[in-house]
Amino acid sequence: MDEPSPRGGGCAGEPPRIRRLEESVVNRIAAGEVIQRPSSAVKELIENSLDAGASSVSVAVKDGGLKLIQVSDDGHGIRFEDLAILCERHTTSKLSAYEDLQTIKSMGFRGEALASMTYVGHVTVTTITEGQLHGYRVSYRDGVMENEPKPCAAVKGTQVMVENLFYNMVSRKKTLQNSNDDYPKIVDFISRFAVHHINVTFSCRKHGANRADVHSASTSSRLDAIRSVYGASVVRDLIEIKVSDEDAADSIFKMDGYISNANYVAKKITMILFINDRLVDCTALKRAIEFVYSATLPQASKPFIYMSIHLPSEHVDVNIHPTKKEVSLLNQERIIETIRNAIEEKLMNSNTTRIFQTQALNLSGIAQANPQKDKVSEASMGSGTKSQKIPVSQMVRTDPRNPSGRLHTYWHGQSSNLEKKFDLVSVRSRRNQKDAGDLSSRHELLVEIDSSFHPGLLDIVKNCTYVGLADEAFALIQHNTRLYLVNVVNISKELMYQQALCRFGNFNAIQLSEPAPLQELLVMALKDDELMSDEKDDEKLEIAEVNTEILKENAEMINEYFSIHIDQDGKLTRLPVVLDQYTPDMDRLPEFVLALGNDVTWDDEKECFRTVAAAVGNFYALHPPILPNPSGNGIHLYKKNRDSTADEHAENDLISDENDVDQELLAEAEAAWAQREWTIQHVLFPSMRLFLKPPKSMATDGTFVQVASLEKLYKIFERC
């Protein structure tokens, strides 16, 4: 067979030959359209479970669905004689003729979902039907059974397990591995199904986790379902809406649902839309609703919408999208207009009262009382009026020039090393004018910190005395009659995480002296990452480009809330001041940028704030410097032309000849380690006493270790 001429070369008059693709290629291309990502597979499997009449659907996911997706239901199961063709393309029990599409009521009908999964993953099905003594388990690959069905023990219904998704689609798997975890999308899908199908119990958890991230019990109330999935704060601001248009000459449709009132505040719209019990998207309807709310809500706030629309089957075309994500409606513009008018009227009638959230005063920075001021105040009051002196513990600093209660009251002077480090960046005062204090997700994270701290450790933290550093990782502190070893890295990481949430949207900023290109930082981080050591440079560059685009897309949000500024050219220009008078180790900047691009969950607001704050906490934590500690025997590491074969005695000898040591590198290392020790004593521990709320996990994970007790020492001396 002749090879086709390359485009632009060879014989221009000869068109390339048309060939018939092999069936395996056709099937894999089709599978890539239907199963676009792990959440697509979960959605298809849940719809199959609902079509099977299930009253309970359980989902387990590992590594965002790439390693494992397991969906179990208690539906009617699959016949034994149908297992042979279960995963062949276009095999379905939903319709037999094309005309059946006009009255289709099930969510699946093409017979492509399971088949597509077998072409991009390893599928195992376990099922049992009513009346059978045992179930059957069978594995599928490329649309066919790998072996005959094997009898096995099974509970009522079907369990579908998809492993190693996209194992044969390297580029897609690599893109998903280095983008956001798909697990939040899966949770979002299941949450939407749980709100609509209130007679079905849904649960979703990560594989191996004891607690489910979504758990909704069967209920008769839609509001109860929304409350169990999205929380009571959402239900509090919902109003019911019903619309019907029963003009038989034109169209017949009914809509019922719940919409948020003017008091609801959120940064991202939540729109749950079901048309004839099918979860779909409708961009035109979404835009129309957002336009109505734009006249009622503040500019940055978005509504919560749940709608269930019922239309005659013949008015809905379900066969326009491979994943059934969209449908086409007859008289769509008229339906949208009717719904828009109904929402507008409902909001106008419910907008008679507004509730505005207030933020409690932060008393963590306590102003010191000035006795002279108190005397002047009392003297200025009339003699007939008895002044009520405000307790010192309730005074709030209102003058930004007053250092009382601020961290730099503990700052007894800057070392030359610190001044040298500040030459790298210039600190610029910045206050975000947008009020972020009313965000429910951030409030929930703060409540988690307040509800999970350890009272005993909090007392130690508040009342301890710093003794000194024990080694590179631990510091010694004294509390009452006990001596403790404290892991400096762990407590600084937790402190920075909590401060990132407390200063949320209200950071000062560190202006970088020179903008840092994100892509170059990411490539540096990937080269240092042990897990990526086997990847080629081209692949690392591709991953860096993907993460750069992710950060540029979310640049506005992280700048608004965390003062991490990324310009349009993809360069990092500003970082937040998490603790006053403290600058992070800039050598760890590439690792921080990689964590932002790779570890942050951008699709879920609460998890996004949590993971960004965690990345900030890890970057700002007081890790040991990259240069090894030169104190003691470590000085041999800075010898010029150090012989790796030298014996241990030679390494331990004191170096008397200064010419044998790299003095510049040694001075840099000594400065870095001295700076770290100074920061631990004068910045970390004073800040820890003021702000840290140690979680209960620190009592058992080795962060705090008791090494001596005065009472026990007395007992030892008494024996002597």
- The 10s digit of each residue's pLDDT in 443-495 is 888 888 888 888 899 999 888 888 888 888 888 888 888 888 999 999 999 99
| 238 in the same domain as 208 | no
Q: What is the mean pLDDT of residues 432-442?
A: 61
Q: What is the CATH number of the domain that holds 282?
A: 3.30.230.10
Q: What does the pLDDT read at residue 264?
A: 85
272 and 212 inside one domain: no
Per-residue confidence (pLDDT) for residue 319, from 0 to 100: 63
For residue 490, count other CB atoms closer than 10 A to its CB. Answer: 19
418 within a domain of the structure (yes/no): no
Sheet containing 425-428: give its strands across: 425-428, 508-517, 571-577, 565-566
440 with 233: CB under 8 angstroms?
A: yes
Query: Based on the domain organization, do 286 and 235 belong to the same domain?
Result: yes
Percent of the chain at pLDDT exceeding 90? 16
pLDDT tens track for 264-295: 888 888 999 998 888 888 888 888 888 888 87
Residue 682 covered by a domain: yes
Output the six-digit token pair for 202: 């849904």
Q: Given this model, what pLDDT does residue 246 score?
A: 64
Which of 350, 379, 412 is at the close of a domain?
350
Q: Assign 656 a pLDDT band (cuts: 50, 70, 90).
A: very low
The amino acid occupying position 343 is: I
Does a structural domain hold residue 252? yes
361 within some domain: no
Domain's final residue, options 350, 374, 392: 350
Considering its fold, how many domains does the chain have in total?
3
What does each C-alpha distance from 708 to 206, 546, 623, 711, 716 come to in angstroms? 41, 52, 26, 9, 12
Are residues 240 and 150 part of one domain?
Answer: no
Distance CA 501, CA 495 (A): 10
Global pTM value: 0.49
Complete DSSP assignment for 263-326: T---SS-EEEEEETTEE---HHHHHHHHHHHHTTS-TT---EEEEEEE--GGGEE--SSTTS--
Helix %, strand %, coil % of the chain (to 5):
40, 20, 40
Beta-strand runs (E) in 549-702:
565-566, 571-577
* Predicted pLDDT at 203: 93
Q: What is the pLDDT of residues 198-245, one digit of tens each?
A: 999 999 999 888 888 888 888 888 999 999 999 888 998 899 999 887
Q: How confident is the model at residue 359 (pLDDT cuts 50, 70, 90)?
A: very low
> How does the average pLDDT of the chain come out, rounded?
77
Q: What is the pLDDT of residues 55-83, one digit of tens each?
A: 999 999 998 899 999 999 999 899 888 88
160-179: per-residue pLDDT in tens? 999 998 888 888 888 887 66
Answer yes or no: do 129 and 277 share one domain. no
Q: Say if residue 594 is in the same domain as residue 480.
A: yes
- Determine, yes or no, domain membership for 608: yes
Tell me if 714 is assigned to some domain: no
Helices (H) and strands (E) in the chain, counts: 23, 24
Question: What is the percentage of the chain residues whose pLDDT exceeds 70?
Answer: 73
3-state secondary structure of 115: helix
Cα separations in angstroms, 296 against 231, 264, 305, 327, 482: 23, 11, 15, 30, 59
The identity of residue 286, as a single letter, is K
Whether residue 457 contacts residue 704, with contact meaning beta carbons closer than 8 Å, is answered with yes
Looking up residue 197, the CATH number of its domain turns out to be 3.30.565.10
pLDDT of residue 74: 92
| β strands within 129-248, DSSP E | 135-141, 144-145, 150-152, 157-163, 201-206, 214-216, 238-247
Domain boundary among 298, 331, 350: 350
| Separation CA 105–CA 316 (nearest Å) | 11
- Report yes or no on 409 lying in a domain: no
Return the ∠ at Cα 146 (arms to 140 and 147), rounded to 5°: 120
Q: Is 648 contained in some domain?
A: no
Query: How many angstroms separate the CA atoms of 19 and 25, rounded?
Result: 12
* Domain around 189: 23-216
Tokens, residue 404 = 């009382």
Q: What is the pLDDT of residue 223?
A: 92
Tokens of 73: 């239901």
Indicate whether 619 and 486 sit together in one domain.
yes
Tell me: do 212 and 235 sit in the same domain: no
pLDDT of residue 56: 93
The verdict on 583 and 618 lying in the same domain is: yes
DSSP assignment, residue 534?
Answer: T
Count Cα neighbours of 437 within 13 Å in the Cβ-side half-sphere: 11
pLDDT at 650 over 60: no
DSSP-based three-state secondary structure for 408: helix
Q: By mean pLDDT, which of 169-183, 366-380, 602-616, 643-657 is the weakest? A: 366-380
* 69 and 185 share one domain: yes
Task: With a cut of 60, say whether residue 716 has pLDDT above it.
Answer: no
The verdict on 61 and 199 lying in the same domain is yes
> Lowest-pLDDT range, 134-148, 185-199, 449-463, 649-663?
649-663
Residue 392: pLDDT band (50, 70, 90) is very low
- The CA dihedral of 450, 438, 358, 392, to the nearest 10 degrees, is 40
- Long-range pairs, 562-569, Cβ under 8 A, ≥24: 562/500, 562/504, 562/507, 562/612, 562/613, 562/616, 563/430, 563/432, 563/507, 563/508, 563/509, 564/596, 565/509, 566/518, 567/515, 569/515, 569/517
Same domain, 200 and 238: no
pLDDT given at position 258: 94
